Amino acid sequence: MIITIDGPAGSGKSTAARALAERLGFQFLDTGAMYRVVTLVCLREQIDLHNEPAVSDRAAIITIRFDGHRVFANDEEVTDAIRTVQVTQGTSIVAVNSKVRGLLTTLQRQAAAGLDIVTEGRDQGTVAFPDAECKFFLTASPEERARRRQHDLRRRGEHLSIEEILAHQHERDRRDEQRAVSPLKPATDAIQIDTSHRNVHEVVEELEELIRQRSAAKP
């Protein structure tokens, strides 16, 4: 069974998707981490992120591996390194690269083959897994999303004002929603959930209940 959870940054999808996978005993795939790994490697090697062929050539020879919460690029652990502000900003540039998207979509399908999996990102229900059994699209108000991001950054020792975060967020949303390939949008058959006024526990309960209803309704 494939469950897709898409939505913008700060919609709560990563935390909810991870918790849901644990509750169901499913595998979990963080596809944003894959785009972040490509960005980190390119930044370190001073490859211009706007140079699409150079970025996709490099992406084609990176080995990305997950081990629980930990992320590895060519066997080096990069779990924290892929979460910096610089990588976050760069990733929305890499994510418009159609060759990189093609490569990573293939890897995502390979990773999910034959498994029960919860996969989260921006295009999981629309492009990577259009036939997924259950699709969700999570949203939250821009202010709430920025507050969550500020909280995450503080925990990592980075201090940005809400205004700065809102400006970055607006820029990333614009890129994610307007790119020609796989723009961020809900699949037509996705269930949309606004998480602004709810905690993770409430969101996961609702997702589980909706999955149960879906499965019961299946012939």
Q: Which residue has the tokens 């990733």?
A: 91
CB 15, min distance to ligand DC, A: 11
If binding is defined by CB under 6 A, does position 139 make contact with ligand DC? no
CB 217, min distance to ligand DC, A: 28
CA 30 to chain centre: 6
CA–CA gap between residue 184 and residue 61 (Å, rounded): 26
**Considering beta carbons, is residue 30 or 207 the nearer one to ligand DC?**
30
Q: Which residue has the tokens 């998480």?
A: 195
In the shown chain, the binding pattern of residues 34 to 53 toward ligand DC, with x for contact by CB under 6 A and - for none, equals -xx-----------------
Which of helix, strand or coil describes residue 26?
coil
Q: Which of 32, 125, 140, 149 binds ligand DC (CB under 6 A)?
A: 32
**Considering beta carbons, is residue 122 or 148 the nearer one to ligand DC?**
122
If binding is defined by CB under 6 A, does position 129 make contact with ligand DC? no
Q: Which of 176, 193, 207, 211 binds ligand DC (CB under 6 A)?
A: 176
If binding is defined by CB under 6 A, does position 92 make contact with ligand DC? yes
The answer to whether 60 touches 103, Cβ cutoff 8 Å, is: yes
- Cα 3-127-219 angle, rounded to 5 deg: 45
The answer to whether 86 touches 42, Cβ cutoff 8 Å, is: no
Of 186, 7, 182, nearest in space to 99 by CA: 182
In the region spanning residues 142 to 161, those forming contacts with ligand DC, defined by CB under 6 A, are none
**Considering beta carbons, is residue 26 or 35 the nearer one to ligand DC?**
35
H or E, element range at 217: helix 200-217
Residues found near ligand DC in the complex (CB under 6 A): 9, 31-32, 35-36, 91-92, 95, 121-124, 172, 176
